[in-house]
């Protein structure tokens, strides 16, 4: 798995700030139920959320690894490699505001979320880090198009460890926006929503995808040489 994939997902998480605040920013208020948010609660919540991303990435990577083992090493790996880079291009276009096509992925996780959402009530309002951490673990499975799209890259890694690493990189990218959402929500939303910021970030992520596609012929030559 190229190192550029880790950087690309880090940027996707960071530059998808408007989407992240819209999806999860309200949880910051739920943590304190109107009182000023406390740093220890935010750290505990986000640690749980990012850990859930890592677990989901490990599962996706393991599924990819099993599929490659069953279907033959390079043919399926080439297909997953192609899919991952096409998804990076789609994510780049999404960040640039040129497509809302990724929204359909959020509907895929609604069935699982219906079972998990009632469990979050046990930890609300979160008064301690021991309440905020499991709340974050649960909210990490909230249906999110960005998360599910990043999981495609984790799937293509063909490794549970690399899949986990990719999703942890994505989660760390989302951290600045959500960690500070309770303190600087308006400023963060304005900055992340700037057309110039989203355009530049989208172009970078799209560039990673195009660069990956340019390497596909070399991978296919490996297939034919075996």
| Measured distance CA(193)–CA(14) in Å, rounded | 12
In the chain, the percentage of residues whose pLDDT exceeds 70 is 65
Question: What does the pLDDT read at residue 55?
Answer: 97
Smallest Cα–Cα separation from 85: which of 32, 8, 17, 19?
8
Structure tokens at 13: 């998480």
Average pLDDT over residues 34-58: 86
- Tell me the pLDDT of the chain averaged across its residues: 75
Average pLDDT over residues 169-174: 91
Asked whether the beta carbons of 194 and 95 are under 8 A apart, the reply is no
Instruction: Give the domain range for residue 219.
Output: 3-225
Asked whether the beta carbons of 158 and 80 are under 8 A apart, the reply is yes
When mean pLDDT is compared across 8-17, 19-28, 96-105, the lowest value belongs to 19-28
| Measured distance CA(142)–CA(95) in Å, rounded | 20
Contact residues for 138 (Cβ-Cβ < 8 A; gap 6+)? 48, 52, 116, 117, 119, 120, 123
Evaluate if pTM is beyond 0.85: no
Our count of domains for the chain comes to 1
Question: What does the pLDDT read at residue 168?
Answer: 95
| pLDDT beyond 80 at 60 | yes
Convert the pLDDT of each residue in 155-171 to its tens digit. Answer: 888 889 999 999 999 99
Which residue is associated with the tokens 């950087």?
7
User: How many C-beta atoms surround the C-beta of residue 211 within 10 A?
Assistant: 14
Of 122 and 91, more confident:
122
Convert the pLDDT of each residue in 114-130 to its tens digit. Answer: 888 889 888 887 888 99
Asked whether the beta carbons of 199 and 43 are under 8 A apart, the reply is no
Structure tokens at 127: 């008064």
């Amino acid at each position: 798995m190229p190192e550029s994939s880790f950087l690309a997902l880090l940027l996707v998480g960071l530059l998808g700030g408007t989407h992240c605040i819209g999806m999860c920013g309200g949880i910051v208020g739920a943590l304190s139920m109107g009182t000023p948010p406390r740093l220890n609660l935010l750290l505990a919540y986000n640690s749980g959320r990012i850990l859930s991303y890592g677990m989901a990435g490990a599962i996706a990577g393991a599924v990819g690894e099993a599929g490659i083992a069953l279907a033959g090493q390079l043919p399926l790996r080439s297909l997953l490699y192609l899919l991952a880079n096409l998804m990076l291009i789609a994510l780049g276009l999404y960040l640039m505001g040129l497509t809302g096509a990724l929204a359909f992925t959020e509907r895929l996780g609604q069935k699982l979320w219906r079972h998990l959402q009632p469990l979050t009530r046990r930890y609300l309002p979160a008064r301690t880090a021991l309440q905020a951490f499991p709340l974050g673990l649960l909210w990490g499975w909230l249906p999110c198009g960005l998360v599910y799209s990043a999981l495609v890259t984790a799937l293509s890694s063909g490794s549970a460890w690399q899949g986990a690493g990719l999703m942890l990189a994505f989660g760390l990218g989302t951290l600045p926006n959500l960690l500070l959402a309770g303190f600087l929500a308006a400023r963060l939303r304005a900055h992340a929503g700037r057309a110039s910021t989203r355009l530049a970030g989208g172009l970078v992520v799209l560039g990673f995808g195009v660069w990956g596609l340019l390497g596909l012929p070399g991978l296919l030559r490996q297939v034919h040489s075996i």
